[in-house]
């Protein structure tokens, strides 16, 4: 067993399935707004069954929340790895994060 980004114990297959689902959602967001996307589209894009989707997530919103959590965790880890010693460095880094958020939020 390994831990996912939410700290829950999961098997490697469960972790891989969640990655497929999140990747499918991100792929669909390039073409459709979040409201236009259905669970059916996600499962078809991820090449999984509907029951498999619901074993991992209760809704497409939960997939989005999990994806955003992954992105924020990645930024937190990158922030901790940087040597930001002054206010200017912190502001530049925060501006970069906001730019990414503003750019990706236009997708949905």
Which domains are seen in the chain, by residue range? Answer: 2-105 (1.10.357.10)
**CB 45, CB 28: distance < 8 Å:** yes
β-bridge mates for residue 31, sequence order: none
pLDDT digits (tens, 9 = 90+) for 1-54: 777 766 778 789 999 999 999 999 999 999 999 999 999 999 999 999 999 999
Position 89 confidence tier, pLDDT thresholds 50, 70, 90: confident
pLDDT digits (tens, 9 = 90+) for 92-105: 878 887 887 777 66
User: Could you give the angle at which helices 39-46 and 12-29 cross, rounded to 10 degrees?
Assistant: 120
What is the DSSP-derived secondary structure letter of residue 35? G
Q: What is the pLDDT of residue 78?
A: 72
pTM of structure: 0.72
């Amino acid at each position: 067993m390994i831990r996912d980004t939410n700290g829950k114990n999961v098997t490697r297959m469960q972790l891989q399935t969640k990655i497929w689902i999140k990747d499918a959602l991100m792929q669909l967001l390039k073409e459709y707004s979040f409201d236009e996307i259905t669970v059916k589209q996600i499962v078809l894009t991820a090449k999984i069954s509907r029951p498999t989707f619901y074993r991992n997530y209760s809704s497409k919103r939960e997939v989005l929340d999990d994806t955003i959590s992954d992105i924020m965790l990645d930024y937190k880890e990158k922030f901790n790895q940087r040597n930001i010693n002054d206010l200017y460095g912190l502001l530049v880094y925060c501006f970069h994060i906001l730019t990414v958020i503003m750019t990706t939020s236009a997708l949905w």
